[in-house]
Every structure is written in structure tokens, then in C-alpha cells.
Amino acid sequence: MSGWKRLFVVIATCWVLVAPFLTLNAINDPVDRIFGMCHSAVIRNNPQYDARYEAELNKCSSAFMRDYVTLPKILRAMVGMGDRTHGLLAWGVILIPLCLLWVLGKIVGWVAAGFRH
């Protein structure tokens, strides 16, 4: 195996390990923002701690936990045992950049080979 192919294998391995975490962050970012807005609205509307404050905060927390996606959920979705959309997104985040890198590497190698002759 040439040095460039070894480099691609190392990059691909690192990317496969990192991509599910990037997907997880992208999926949960809107949920985190909505929870933050809900939490700040509850605090702003209830300056004194009372029962309504706790009820509203529990409502925000339950909505947050319902919509929050964890790493095991992503991994299960990637093997077909969860939300198909999350699984397809995770596979897309893994495979599309690697395919583009492979094609770009082939093009650069082809151009460089042309200059060598």
C-alpha cells in the first residue's frame, strides 16, 4: 500500500470515530437552544421560587429529554434499529466527506502524474 493510501486509511479511521459525535452535536444543537430559551423564560417569568416555577421547569426538562439524542441512539440508528433519518444523516456525515476526499485525491494524483511526464 502506498503512503497516500495509508494516509487515507488513517484519516478515514479518525473521521469514522469523530463523525458520530459531530452528527450528535448537529442534531442536539436546536434542542439545546430551545431548552435554554425555555429555562431563561421560566426564570424571567418567576423571579420568586414557587410551585409554578418547578412545574414549568419540569415541563421544559421533559421536552428536552424527549427530543435529546444520545450516542447509543445514533449508533442504533446507524445499524437500522432506530430513527432512520438520524441513521442516514450519520452515514452521510461519515461517507460523503470520505468519498469527496478520495475523488479529490485521485484528481490531484492524476494531475501530478501528468506533470511528471
Per-domain residue ranges of the chain: 3-109
| CA gap 105, 60 in Å, rounded | 48
DSSP state of 70: -
- C-alpha cell, 39: 429555562
Q: Residue 49: which pLDDT band, with cuts at 50, 70 and 90?
A: low
23, exposed or middle or buried, with CB in 10 Å at 0-12, 13-18, 19+? Answer: buried
**Residue 1 or 89, more confident:** 89
Q: 47 is written with which cell numbers? A: 423571579
**Against a cut of 0.85, is the pTM above it?**
no
Comparing CA positions, the residue from 26, 59, 65, 62 lying closest to residue 41 is 59
* Phi and psi, residue 91, nearest 5°: -65, -35
State which H helix or E strand residue 47 sits in.
Answer: none
Residue 61 confidence class, pLDDT cut points 50, 70, 90: confident
Q: Identify the residue with better confidence: 51 or 9.
A: 9
Burial per residue of 25-56, b for 16 or more beta-carbon CB atoms within 10 angstroms, e otherwise: eebbeebeeebeebeeebeeebeeeeeeeeeb
